[in-house]
């Protein structure tokens, strides 16, 4: 999994957001951290953490996903109820 974010494009973010929503259409109760999403939902396809985070930020801002912090301090992302 790439961690750099120097060459993040809007196209990369849009593509990743679509892939995340595609995953959630098949697994609507899934939730995970950005690291888990890159590793398991996107199957380590070379998506950087920076691109995934920007896609998640966009999906959260538009109300398609929610972000919540667990007691451990980790932020998890899940489908917003009603956006399936």
**3-class secondary structure, 32:** strand
What CATH number corresponds to the domain at position 68? Answer: 1.10.10.10
**3-class secondary structure, 76:** strand
Q: How many domains is the chain partitioned into structurally?
A: 1
Would residue 40 count as lying in a domain? yes
Domain encompassing residue 16: 10-79
Report the run of H or E that residue 43 belongs to, with start and end. Answer: none
Residue 82's pLDDT is what? 74
Would residue 16 count as lying in a domain? yes
**How would residue 1 be classed by pLDDT, with cut points 50, 70 and 90?**
very low
Would residue 2 count as lying in a domain? no
Record the pTM. Answer: 0.87
The Cα 84–Cα 4 span in angstroms is 31
Q: How far is CA 40 from the centre of its chain?
A: 11
Would residue 1 count as lying in a domain? no
């Amino acid at each position: 999994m790439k961690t750099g974010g120097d060459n993040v494009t809007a196209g990369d973010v849009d593509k990743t957001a679509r892939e995340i929503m595609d995953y959630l259409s098949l697994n609507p109760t899934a939730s995970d951290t950005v690291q888990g999403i890159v590793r398991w939902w996107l199957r380590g396809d070379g998506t950087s953490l920076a691109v995934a985070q920007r896609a998640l930020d966009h999906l959260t801002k538009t109300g398609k996903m929610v972000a919540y912090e667990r007691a451990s301090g980790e932020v998890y992302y899940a489908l917003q109820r009603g956006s399936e």
